């Protein structure tokens, strides 16, 4: 289901080129805010441009750049798939910063109210290299050289290059659903819900050649919204 929803969103966005000659309005803006939950938060800055087909003024396709960060405690990162999916990297603190290209769709519910969803496509991420406690899900099936690493600390850092985190777990990025309310013509409030993923990469190949480990987070989101031009 998640893959079908993502494919529908991406198809809608890429199909916008067919409407290029019928665009009646282009808008852009910046949202500055943060997601928040117990012992974790995820600040972000989103720049977007949105276009409306002339015959569908209530519908917009958007694209832009999201600069994001994540700060949390007690993270347990797992391998994304395969026989090593039960292997875990445990961190006492998780931090990452990144910038991703995103696409989305918006719906005008009223003159000052927009409902929308967007997702990251590709981008980069950085963060402090940390030592994580490596735990094998099934040590008896691992080679002796990997068994020797079970229960030891392994150096890991945020995965630098990332693509489509909504579909591929071993990548950094976010997807959000939101309601943007324009209080005045120059400022608004955006309320939303963020589903994100933080991915780290080990210094060396581990069980089954696996190097990437990640975990997901979900949290409410609030931001200030500022239009740049209309």
* Residue 39 pLDDT: 92
Name the pLDDT band for 24 (thresholds 50, 70, 90).
Answer: low
Q: Residue 7: is its pLDDT beyond 70?
A: no
Q: Which residues contact 33 (CB under 8 A, 6 or more apart)?
A: 43, 44, 190, 221, 222, 223, 224
Domains of the chain: 2-74+90-131+156-200+210-229 (2.40.160.20)
Q: What is the pLDDT of residue 82?
A: 65
Token representation of residue 71: 């700060």
Contacts (Cβ under 8 Å, ≥6 apart) of 114 = 60, 106, 107, 108, 179, 180
Strand blocks (E) in 79-211: 88-110, 113-126, 130-135, 153-158, 161-163, 173-182, 188-202
Q: Residue 13 pLDDT more than 70?
A: no
How sure is the predictor about 205, in pLDDT bands with cuts at 50, 70 and 90?
very high
- CB-hemisphere CA count at 13 Å for 47? 7
pLDDT of residue 173: 98
User: Alpha-carbon distance 12 to 44, whole Å?
Assistant: 25
Asked if 156 and 88 count as a contact pair (C-beta separation under 8 A), the reply is no
Asked if residues 135 and 154 have their Cβ atoms less than 8 Å apart, the reply is no
Is it the case that residue 195 has pLDDT exceeding 90? yes
What mean pLDDT do residues 197-208 have? 94
pLDDT digits (tens, 9 = 90+) for 46-101: 999 999 988 898 999 999 999 999 999 989 999 887 667 789 999 999 999 999 99
Segment 38-47 shows an average pLDDT of 96
Residue listed under structure tokens 């966005």: 13
- Which burial class, exposed, middle or buried, applies to 120 when counting CB atoms under 10 A from its CB (0-12, 13-18, 19+)? buried
142 three-state secondary structure: coil
């Amino acid at each position: 289901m998640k893959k079908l929803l993502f494919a529908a969103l991406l198809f809608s966005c890429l199909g916008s080129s067919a409407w290029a000659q019928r665009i009646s309005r282009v808008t852009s803006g910046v949202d500055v805010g943060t997601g928040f939950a117990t012992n974790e938060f995820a600040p972000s800055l989103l720049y977007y441009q949105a276009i409306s087909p002339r015959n569908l003024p209530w519908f917009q396709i958007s694209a832009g750049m999201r600069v994001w960060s994540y700060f949390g405690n007690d993270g347990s990162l797992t391998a994304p798939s395969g026989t090593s999916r039960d292997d875990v990297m445990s961190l006492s603190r998780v931090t990452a910063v990144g910038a991703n290209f995103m696409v989305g769709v918006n719906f005008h519910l009223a003159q000052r109210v927009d409902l929308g969803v967007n997702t990251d496509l590709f981008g980069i991420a950085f963060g402090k290299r940390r030592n994580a406690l490596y735990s094998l899900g099934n040590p008896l099936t691992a080679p002796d050289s990997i068994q020797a690493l079970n229960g030891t600390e392994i150096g890991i850092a945020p995965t630098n290059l990332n693509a489509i985190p909504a579909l591929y777990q071993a990548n950094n990025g976010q997807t959000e659903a939101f309601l943007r309310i324009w209080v005045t013509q120059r400022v608004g409030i955006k309320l939303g819900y963020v589903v994100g993923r933080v991915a780290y990469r080990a210094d060396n190949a581990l069980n089954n050649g696996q190097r990437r480990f990640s975990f997901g987070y979900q949290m409410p989101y609030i931001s200030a919204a500022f239009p740049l031009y209309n």
